[in-house]
Structure 1
Amino acid sequence: MRNKLVEFRNVSFRYGEEQPWVLKNCSFEIYENEAIAIIGHNGSGKSTIAKLMNGLLFPQEGQIIINGRNVTHDSIWEIRQDVGMVFQNPDNQFVGTTVQDDVAFGMENRGIPRDEMVKRMNETLSAVGMQEYRLTEPHKLSGGQKQRVAIASVLAIFPQVLILDEATAMLDPRGRTEIMKTVASVQEERHLSLITITHNLQEVVQAERVIVMNQGEIWDEATPREIFAKRTELREIGLDIPFVAALSDELRKTGLPVANEVLNHEELLEELWISRSTM
Structure 2
Amino acid sequence: MRESFIEFRNVSFRYGEEQPWVLKDVSFVIYPDEWVAIIGHNGSGKSTIAKLINGLLFPQEGEIFVDGVHVNQDSIWDVRKNVGMVFQNPDNQFVGTTVRDDVAFGLENRGIPRQEMIDRINTSLTAVAMNDYFLHEPHRLSGGQKQRVAIASILAISPKVVILDEATAMLDPKGKLEIMRTITEVQDKLDLALVTITHDLNEITLADRVIVMNEGQVWLEATPREVFTKKEELRRIGLDTPFISKLADELISIGLVFNNHPLSHEELLEELWTYHSKM
- With normalisation by structure 1, the TM-score equals 0.92
2:107 — aligned with what? 107
Residue 233 of structure 1 aligns to which amino acid in structure 2?
Answer: E
Residue 263 of structure 1 aligns to which amino acid in structure 2?
Answer: L
* C-alpha separation in 1, matches of 2:25 and 2:165: 21
Secondary structure at 2:80 match in 1: helix
Structure 2 vs 1, CA of residues 239 and 259 (structure 1 numbering), >3 Å: closer, same or farther? farther
Q: CA deviation at 1:132?
A: 4.4
Identity across matched positions, percent: 68
* C-alpha separation in 2, matches of 1:36 and 1:129: 23
Q: CA deviation at 1:267?
A: 2.4
1:98 — aligned with what? 98
2:78 — aligned with what? 78
Question: Is the 2:209–2:221 Cα contact (8 Å) retained in structure 1?
Answer: yes
Question: Which is further off, 204-213 or 123-132?
Answer: 123-132
Residue 185 of structure 2 aligns to which amino acid in structure 1?
Answer: S
Question: Which is further off, 101-110 or 27-36?
Answer: 101-110
2:236 — aligned with what? 236
State yes or no: 1:61 paired with 2:61.
yes
Question: Is the 1:147–1:167 Cα contact (8 Å) retained in structure 2?
Answer: yes
State yes or no: 1:210 paired with 2:210.
yes
* C-alpha separation in 2, matches of 1:277 and 1:186: 36
State yes or no: 1:163 paired with 2:141.
no
Secondary structure at 1:33 match in 2: coil
* C-alpha separation in 2, matches of 1:70 and 1:216: 22
* C-alpha separation in 1, matches of 2:70 and 2:165: 22
Structure 2 vs 1, CA of residues 101 and 2 (structure 1 numbering), >3 Å: closer, same or farther? farther
Q: Give the total of aligned pairs.
A: 279
Secondary structure at 2:10 match in 1: strand
Uncovered stretches (5+) of structure 2, i.e. residues with no partner = none
Structure 2 vs 1, CA of residues 220 and 191 (structure 1 numbering), >3 Å: closer, same or farther? same
Q: CA deviation at 1:82?
A: 0.4
Question: Is the 2:144–2:179 Cα contact (8 Å) retained in structure 1?
Answer: no
Residue 206 of structure 1 aligns to which amino acid in structure 2?
Answer: L
1:123 — aligned with what? 123
Q: Deviations over 1:228-251 (max 9, x none)?
A: 111111111111112211101111
1:262 — aligned with what? 262
Q: Deviations over 1:216-275 (max 9, x none)?
A: 111000111111111111111111112211101111222222356221223222322233
State yes or no: 1:224 paired with 2:224.
yes
Question: Which is further off, 26-35 or 252-261?
Answer: 252-261
Structure 2 vs 1, CA of residues 273 and 135 (structure 1 numbering), >3 Å: closer, same or farther? closer
* C-alpha separation in 1, matches of 2:242 and 2:106: 36
* C-alpha separation in 2, matches of 1:45 and 1:234: 16
Uncovered stretches (5+) of structure 1, i.e. residues with no partner = none
* C-alpha separation in 2, matches of 1:187 and 1:262: 22
TM alignment of 1:134-145, pairs within 5 A: 134-145=134-145
Q: Deviations over 1:85-115 (max 9, x none)?
A: 0011123322223322210111122332222
Question: Is the 1:6–1:31 Cα contact (8 Å) retained in structure 2?
Answer: yes
Structure 2 vs 1, CA of residues 116 and 11 (structure 1 numbering), >3 Å: closer, same or farther? same
Q: CA deviation at 1:170?
A: 3.1
* C-alpha separation in 1, matches of 2:271 and 2:186: 32
2:16 — aligned with what? 16
Question: Which is further off, 52-61 or 148-157?
Answer: 148-157
* CA RMSD after TM alignment: 2.0
Question: Is the 1:104–1:121 Cα contact (8 Å) retained in structure 2?
Answer: yes
Structure 2 vs 1, CA of residues 110 and 251 (structure 1 numbering), >3 Å: closer, same or farther? same
* C-alpha separation in 2, matches of 1:44 and 1:199: 10
Structure 2 vs 1, CA of residues 145 and 262 (structure 1 numbering), >3 Å: closer, same or farther? closer
Question: Is the 1:256–1:275 Cα contact (8 Å) retained in structure 2?
Answer: yes
Structure 2 vs 1, CA of residues 191 and 2 (structure 1 numbering), >3 Å: closer, same or farther? farther
Question: Is the 2:147–2:179 Cα contact (8 Å) retained in structure 1?
Answer: no
